[in-house]
Amino acid sequence: MSDQGPVSMHRRSSHLRRMAADIPGARSMWHLVRTFRDMWVDSSESSQIRLQQDLARVDPWHYSTNDLQLVRHRGELAMLDRVRGVNRFTHVLELGCAEGIFTQHLASRCDSLLAVDFNEVALGRARERCQREENVQFASIDLRTDPLPGVFDLVVAIHILEYLQNPIPLRRIREEIIAAMTPGGYLLLGCVSFESPNEKAWWSRYLLRGGKQINSFFARHSKLTLVDSAIHPLVECDSLDILLRRVQ
């Protein structure tokens, strides 16, 4: 959904990381212990708390004003434009629509768009922003508990999967997303990466820590093939964006 939630968590742990770095071997162990702790406490409620803090102000992630975010949006839309050509996508699902800024761009490229989020503040702002977009519908969906409604020739999930700190539901969600794609349909996936030690550790592949590992986890699926990729620098992190196509 956003890069700011992961950024906030990254900042809060910086002091403890610096302390652990002074003890031989402690830094790697500290990251592993912290990862298991995050997995244990991961829940819809904890994600809602982080989102409510971020959404205390309008456009908390500066999607409409920050040059880096604007460049990222243009790059992601260019990926979609290259594969759709002069055609429009038929049915699109946007997971984690936030305040609807990217939703507006998607609306002009499809016949129908279902934009979902599980935060009511974000959904309210998105509905207001997109009130003139007659082909857009909104719904409240919690990826941890709710099924995905329908089948789509494009699914968009940008800066949303990082909020899932437990790899078990993330593995299930991958299967649900693929099941919601038509054969030949596309998945635009964007995840942030801090290039931190826990994203580079040997165990990050299995615990799905960081954007690089999440993207690789999706790209390794036998029903998906990589079509396009890009790295967009943001403040304190990078957005790793990939476009995948369902081949089966």
pLDDT at 25: 54
- Whether 149 and 105 have beta carbons less than 8 Å apart is answered as no
Quick one: how many helices (H) and strands (E) in the chain? 11, 7
Could you tell me the domains of the chain? 4-246 (3.40.50.150)
Angle at 74 between CA 104 and CA 151, to 5 degrees: 55
> Coil, helix or strand for 6?
helix
In this model, does residue 22 exceed pLDDT 60?
Answer: no
In this model, does residue 203 exceed pLDDT 80?
Answer: no
pLDDT at 106: 98
pLDDT at 243: 98
Specify the higher pLDDT residue, 88 or 198.
Answer: 88
* pLDDT (average), residues 32-39: 70
In this model, does residue 165 exceed pLDDT 90?
Answer: no
- To which H or E segment does residue 125 belong? helix 120-129
Q: State the Cα–Cα distance between residues 43 and 39, nearest whole angstrom.
A: 9
The per-residue pLDDT for range 101-159, each reduced to its tens digit, is 999 999 999 999 999 999 999 999 999 999 999 999 999 999 999 999 999 999 999 99
Residue 228 identity (one-letter amino acid): D
State the pTM of this model. Answer: 0.84
pLDDT at 190: 97
Q: State the Cα–Cα distance between residues 48 and 195, nearest whole angstrom.
A: 25
